[in-house]
């Protein structure tokens, strides 16, 4: 739930554009072999980044601790229409805690010096339209979810001014959610909403805390468009977040506890229109 970099690794810039149909993955073939078929030079080291336009992927291993017997790789490709296609594969030993969050980022990571796009950070009240569009594929076993992770901050948008971590679980594979708050329908889909107050991460020094919300929908696939602004509107209407907060960054990744897996997002795009 607290997935962010403690250190920054090597950065690779991906400059070429994808001209073929989006990568297609299968359940039974080796996940890393499939990843390398479409992404020939993926990020393989801890915290390594690759960039394409206003998006970048990060080989996030935020809570790996002393783990050594693991493998995690991630790649990104730019598409001609301005979207990107990304994929990552992993293999982690059995464990009891979340260890990693390989992800794609758009915006100002509170732990990064600058934003990937001039669009963000942006005040929630200044957003007219905010959607995410993509085709989602996932295979694997073990404990993990597939989710958006969104950080709300003050206008400073750094790690000392965190307000909320908001997650949208579009798939859950054996991870226990946070304590239940309520059920609601958002963007036409049913969600259980969970909450953790005074949430934080023991890896951070000095300690930082925030309120965490997760919208949990265990559906097994998603293709199309998600209205992200609808989630903020519900939280504001219920007086659960500050309407004057700023949207800093939108991430999508897998919270991984253990097991093997592969996730792919084809034609991924964040569409943000200001008022």
Domain of 58, CATH number, reads: 2.60.120.180
Which pLDDT score is estimated for 181?
98
| Residue 6, domain member (yes or no) | no
- Taking the model in full, what pTM does it have? 0.91
Q: How many domains are contained in the chain? A: 1
178 lies in which domain range?
Answer: 11-274
CA angle (161 as vertex; 155, 166 as ends), nearest 5: 90
Q: Is residue 51 part of a domain?
A: yes
The answer to whether residue 79 is domain-embedded is yes
In a domain, 204, yes or no: yes
Asked if residue 3 is part of any domain, the answer here is no
C-beta of residue 146 within 8 angstroms of C-beta of residue 171? yes
pLDDT at 83: 97
Residue 21: what pLDDT? 62
Task: Name the residue among 7, 132, 35, 17 with its Cα closest to residue 82.
Answer: 17
Q: What is the pLDDT of residue 201?
A: 81
Q: Is residue 82 part of a domain?
A: yes
Residue 263 is assigned to a structural domain of this protein: yes
- Quick one: pLDDT at residue 203? 76
Q: How many residues does the chain have?
A: 275
pLDDT below 70 — which residues of the chain? Answer: 1-21, 219-221
Distance (Å, whole) CA 223 – CA 135: 4
As to burial, measured by CB atoms within 10 angstroms (0-12 exposed, 13-18 middle, 19+ buried), residue 105 is: buried
């Amino acid at each position: 739930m607290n997935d962010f970099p403690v250190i920054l690794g090597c950065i690779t810039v991906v400059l070429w554009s994808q001209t073929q149909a989006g990568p297609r993955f299968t359940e039974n073939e080796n996940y890393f072999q499939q990843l390398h078929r479409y992404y020939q030079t993926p990020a393989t080291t801890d915290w390594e980044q690759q960039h394409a336009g206003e998006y970048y992927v990060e080989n996030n291993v935020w809570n790996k601790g002393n783990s050594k017997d693991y493998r995690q790789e991630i790649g990104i490709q730019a598409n001609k229409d301005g979207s990107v296609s990304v994929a990552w594969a992993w293999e982690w030993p059995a464990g009891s805690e979340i260890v990693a969050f390989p992800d794609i980022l758009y915006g100002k990571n509170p732990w990064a010096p600058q934003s990937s796009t001039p669009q963000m950070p942006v005040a929630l009240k200044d957003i007219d339209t905010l959607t995410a569009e993509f085709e989602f594929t996932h295979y694997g076993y073990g404990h993990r979810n597939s989710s958006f992770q969104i950080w709300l901050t003050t206008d400073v948008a750094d790690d000392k001014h965190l307000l909320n971590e908001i997650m949208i679980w579009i798939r859950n594979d054996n991870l226990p959610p946070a304590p239940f708050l309520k059920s609601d329908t958002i963007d036409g889909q049913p969600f259980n909403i969970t909450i953790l107050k005074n949430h934080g991460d023991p890896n951070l020094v000095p300690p930082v805390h925030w309120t965490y919300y997760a919208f949990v929908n265990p559906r097994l696939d998603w293709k199309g468009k998600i209205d992200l602004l609808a989630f903020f509107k519900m939280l504001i209407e219920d007086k659960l977040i500050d309407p004057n907060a700023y949207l800093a960054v939108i991430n999508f990744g897998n919270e991984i506890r253990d097991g093997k897996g592969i996730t792919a997002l084809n034609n991924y795009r964040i569409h943000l229109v200001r008022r």
